[in-house]
A and B are shown apart, each in its own frame.
Chain A
Amino acid sequence: MAQEEVNKILSQEYKLGFSVDVEADTAPPGLNEDVLRFISAKKEEPEWMVDLRIKALSKWKTMSEPHWAKLDYVPVDYQSISYFSAPKKAPNSLDEVDEKILEAYAKLGIPLEEQKMLQGIAIDAVFDSVSVKTTYSKTLMELGIIFCSISEAMREHPELVKKYMFSVVPMSDNYFAALNAAVFTDGTFVYIPKGVRCPMELSTYFRINAKNTGQFERTLIIADEGSYVSYNEGCSAPQRDENQLHAAVVELIAHKNAEIKYSTIQNWYPGDETGKGGIYNFVTKRGLCEGENSKISWTQVETGSSITWKYPSCVLKGDNSVGEFYSVAVTSKAQQADTGTKMIHIGKNTRSTIVSKGISAMRGQNSYRGLVKISPSASGARNHSQCDSLLIGPNCGAHTFPYLESQNSSAQIEHEATTSKISDEQLFYLRQRGIGEENAVSMIVHGFCKEVFSQLPMEFAVEAKELLNLTLEGSVG
C-alpha cells in the first residue's frame, strides 16, 4: 500500500473553513491599557473588572512566554493582534442577531432559532469576542440554574463572579492565563444551585470569524453542593494563511458531593500540510474539587489547531474527591500538540484516572505531558494513568513525558504506556476480509480511542467519530 494514499486520507480538507462577512467593531491591533478600557467599555463591564484587567496586564508584562513544551512555532507578535472583534449589531433577542451569523452557525450544524433548537442541549454561541445567543436560558432559570455569557454574569451576578473568578486559575498562574485575564472577551458562565441535577447538556460553541484577531474566552462553572452538570464545548475557525491566537481559561469548582463533566471537541483550523496558518491554541483549564466526594471529569477530543498547549487539570482538595482525564489528541498534517493533565492530590483517599490516546499521522507531533502530585496530606490517594500512542506512517512522532511527585507513602500510583503503529499488514488483513481501506483505518483508530469516546455524551460521541474520520481521511495508503 502506498503511503501517499494514507496521506491523501489524512490531508482531508478542513470543512469548516468558511468565513462570513459581518460588519464588526474591531479594536485596533495592539495591547495596552487603552485596549483594555475599550474592551471593558464595549462589554459595559463594572469598574472593578477594568481594574482587574489592568492588574493582569501589568503582571503579564513581567512574565515571559513558556518554551518548555515540545512545540516549534513562529513566535506570536502580541502587538499585531486585535484583541476585540464583535459583530456591530449588538443583539438583544434572537430577532436581532445578524442573519449571517445565524447562517454561519447553521452551516456548522448548530441551529440557534427557537423552533430548531437542539433537543435537550442548551447552547451558548460565542462569535469572535461576544456571545451572540444563549438558548434555553429561561427554562434553566426556573431551576435556579444560571447559564449565560460571562459578560452578562459580571453585570447580573457580580457576587458569584467576584467570589470564584481567578480562584482556581489565578491571573498570574501562567503567561497565557495572565494574557487572558487582561483581554478576555466572552465565554460562558454556569452556576448550578445546591441539589440540582441539570436536566440538559449545556454547550458552548466558539467560532473565530474575524481576521487578525485572537479569541480569549473565559469560562467559569460552579456546581454547588450535591449538584450535577454536563457541559460541552465545540470550536472552529475559518481557513486562513495567518496564524491566529486562541488563549482561553476555564475554571471549574465542584462543591461537596457535586459532579462536573466537561467535554471538549476542539476543531480549530489546523493549518495546511506545510504548517502554514492554523490556530495557536494555548489554553489553561483547571477544576477544583473543593468539597468532599466531589468529582470533576475532563474529556477532550483534540483534532484541530496547528499548535496545542493544553493541560486540563484537577485539584483534588476535598476528601474522597475524584478527578478524571480522558483525552484523544490527533495531530496530522504539520500539527503539533503538547497536551496532558495535572492531578494534584491534597485530600485523603482522593482518586484520579488518566487515559490519554495520542494519534499522529503525516508530519504530526504528539506529546503527552502529565503530572501526578501526591501531597503529604493525601493519605490513601490513588492514581492510574494510561498513555497510548498510535502512529500512522513513517514521518510522525509521539512523545510521553510523565511526571510523578509523591510525598505520601500510602499512595498507590500506576502508569502504563504503549506505542503502536497502524501497520500495512493490519490494513491488508482487514482489506482481505472485504473491508475498504478507509473503513479499515477508521476501525483501527476508533478501536484505539474507544475508552475515551465512551465517556462523551451520545451526540458528541457521534460528532467526535465523524470528525476523527475527516481528520484522518487520506492518511492511509
Chain B
Amino acid sequence: MNIKNLHAKIGDKEILKGLDLELIKGKIHVIMGTNGAGKSTLSKAIVGHYDVQTTQGEIIYKGENILEMEPEERALNGVFLSFQNPVEVAGVNNAYFLRTALNTKEKHRGEKETNAAEFLKLMRRHVEQLEMKPDMISRALNDGFSGGEKKRNEILQMEILKPDVIILDEIDSGLDIDALKSVSEGINRMKDGERTFLVITHYSRILDYIHPDYVHILQDGKIVKTGGPELVKILEAEGYQAIQKDLQCEP
C-alpha cells in the first residue's frame, strides 16, 4: 500500500498535510506521534470513514486508488481497521454479524461460504485462543463489553476475516497486561510474511510483544522520520521533543 501526498481534513481543519508512507507487504509498520498529530485521521482516511474528507493525494493498493472506493469495497479488498473505540450494536448477535461479514467476503472472492456449523466451530476455537468468555459468541456485538473484551473482539474479527492490510488503532490502550498479551499473540499469529500491519500507538509497551520492522514518526500531518525499532528506544529515552530538535538540526 502506497500513500502519496495525502491531504485530509476533518470539518474545516486540515489534519494530514501531504503525508507519504509506503507500507511494505508482509512487514509490521508502527506509527507513533503525539496527540493530534493525525494518527487516527490517517487510519480513518485509509478505511474511508465519513468524518474524514481527503482533498489531495492517493492511496494505491493492489493497483487501484482506494480513496475512490466505498468503505465496504475497501474492506472486501482486504483492508481491516481495528477500531480505537468499537461501537456497541445492541440486538445484533456477535456470531451472526461475524458470519455475515465472513460470508460476504467469501462471496466477493467467489469462494464457498462457510456454513453455520463450520463457522461456530471456527469461532469457538478463536474465542478460546484469545481467552475470551464463551458467551461472547452469543452476546450482542460489543454490547456491554468491557474495554478489554472489545479489543479482543476486534482481534477475533481480524483472525476470522484474515485481511491483507491490518490497521490497529491504539489496540493497546486500556488493556491490562493479560489482555495485552493475548491481543499481541493474536497479532503475531496473523503475521505470515504476506500480511501488512500498521500499528498506531502512543506507547512502546505493545512493542515488547510485537516486533516492528519499521517505525514512523507522525507529526503535524506528515511522516517526519522513518527508521527501524531503534527509533522507539530513542523516543523512550528522549521523547518526541528530541525528534523535533533532531529534525530542526537537519540541514
Place the interface of chain A in its size category: 20 to 34
Q: A420-B90, A434-B75 are in contact. Are A428 and B104 (CB under 8 A)?
A: no
Which of B3-11, B81-89, B185-193, B194-202 lies on the face that meets chain A? B81-89
CA distance A434 to B75 in the complex (A): 5
Q: A426-B87, A443-B92 are in contact. Are A434 and B105 (CB under 8 A)?
A: yes
CB–CB B89/A434 < 8 A: no
Q: Is B213 an interface residue (CB 8 A)?
A: no
- Nearest B-chain residue to A425, judged by Cβ: B87
CA distance A430 to B96 in the complex (A): 12
Q: Is A79 an interface residue (CB 8 A)?
A: no
Q: Is B18 an interface residue (CB 8 A)?
A: no
Q: Mark B33-75, 1 if CB is under 8 A from A, else 0.
A: 0000000000000010110000000000000000000111001
Which of A424, A426, A435, A447 touches B50 (beta carbons < 8 Å)? A424
- Nearest A-chain residue to B74, judged by Cβ: A432
CA distance A432 to B77 in the complex (A): 11
Q: Is B210 an interface residue (CB 8 A)?
A: no
Name the distance in Å between A282's Cβ and chain B's nearest Cβ: 31
Which chain A residues border B47 with CB–CB below 8 Å? 432
Q: Mark A404-428, 1 if CB is under 8 A from B, else 0.
A: 0000000000000000100111101
Which chain A residues border B105 with CB–CB below 8 Å? 434
Name the distance in Å between A421's Cβ and chain B's nearest Cβ: 11
CB–CB B72/A437 < 8 A: yes
Q: Is B91 an interface residue (CB 8 A)?
A: yes
CB–CB A431/B75 < 8 A: yes
Q: A428-B50, A429-B83 are in contact. Are A434 and B101 (CB under 8 A)?
A: yes
Name the distance in Å between A439's Cβ and chain B's nearest Cβ: 7
Q: Is B183 an interface residue (CB 8 A)?
A: no
Which chain A residues border B168 with CB–CB below 8 Å? none
Which chain B residues border A447 with CB–CB below 8 Å? 89-93, 140
CA distance A68 to B163 in the complex (A): 56
Q: Mark B129-153, 1 if CB is under 8 A from A, else 0.
A: 0000000000010000000000000
Max chain A C-beta neighbours (<10 A), residue from B80, B89, B104, B105: B89
In this complex, how many residues of chain B approach chain A with their Cβ under 8 Å: the count is: 29
Max chain A C-beta neighbours (<10 A), residue from B50, B91, B93, B140: B91
Which chain B residues border A443 with CB–CB below 8 Å? 92, 96-97, 100
- Nearest A-chain residue to B44, judged by Cβ: A428
CB–CB A434/B81 < 8 A: no
Between A and B, how many residue pairs show CB distances below 8 Å?
Answer: 67
Max chain B C-beta neighbours (<10 A), residue from A420, A425, A436, A444: A425
Q: Is A433 an interface residue (CB 8 A)?
A: yes
- Nearest A-chain residue to B91, judged by Cβ: A447
- Nearest B-chain residue to A447, judged by Cβ: B91
CB–CB B91/A448 < 8 A: yes
Which of A430, A431, A432 touches B97 (beta carbons < 8 Å)? A430
CA distance A450 to B140 in the complex (A): 12
Q: Mark A165-198, 1 if CB is under 8 A from B, else 0.
A: 0000000000000000000000000000000000
Q: Is B219 an interface residue (CB 8 A)?
A: no
Which of A432, A444, A450 touches B75 (beta carbons < 8 Å)? A432
CB–CB B86/A429 < 8 A: yes
Q: A1-B50, A439-B100, A447-B140 are in contact. Are A431 and B89 (CB under 8 A)?
A: no
CA distance A420 to B105 in the complex (A): 29
Chain B residues numbered 83-130 whose CB sits less than 8 Å from any CB in chain A: 83, 86-87, 89-93, 96-98, 100-101, 104-105, 108
CA distance A400 to B49 in the complex (A): 34
Which chain A residues border B83 with CB–CB below 8 Å? 429, 432
Q: Is B161 an interface residue (CB 8 A)?
A: yes
CA distance A437 to B73 in the complex (A): 11
Max chain B C-beta neighbours (<10 A), residue from A426, A429, A439: A429
CB–CB B92/A433 < 8 A: no
CA distance A428 to B86 in the complex (A): 11
CB–CB B71/A431 < 8 A: yes
Name the distance in Å between A457's Cβ and chain B's nearest Cβ: 22
Q: Is B184 an interface residue (CB 8 A)?
A: no
Name the distance in Å between B159's Cβ and chain A's nearest Cβ: 13
- Nearest A-chain residue to B47, judged by Cβ: A432
CB–CB A435/B101 < 8 A: yes
CB–CB A435/B92 < 8 A: no
CB–CB B100/A435 < 8 A: yes
CB–CB A434/B72 < 8 A: yes
CB–CB B108/A434 < 8 A: yes
15 A-B pairs (CB sep. < 8 Å): A429-B83, A429-B87, A429-B89, A430-B89, A430-B97, A431-B70, A431-B71, A431-B72, A432-B47, A432-B71, A433-B161, A434-B75, A434-B76, A434-B104, A437-B72
A interface residues (Cβ-Cβ under 8 A, vs B): 1, 420, 423-426, 428-437, 439, 443-444, 447-448, 450
B interface residues (Cβ-Cβ under 8 A, vs A): 47, 49-50, 70-72, 75-76, 80-81, 83, 86-87, 89-93, 96-98, 100-101, 104-105, 108, 140, 157, 161
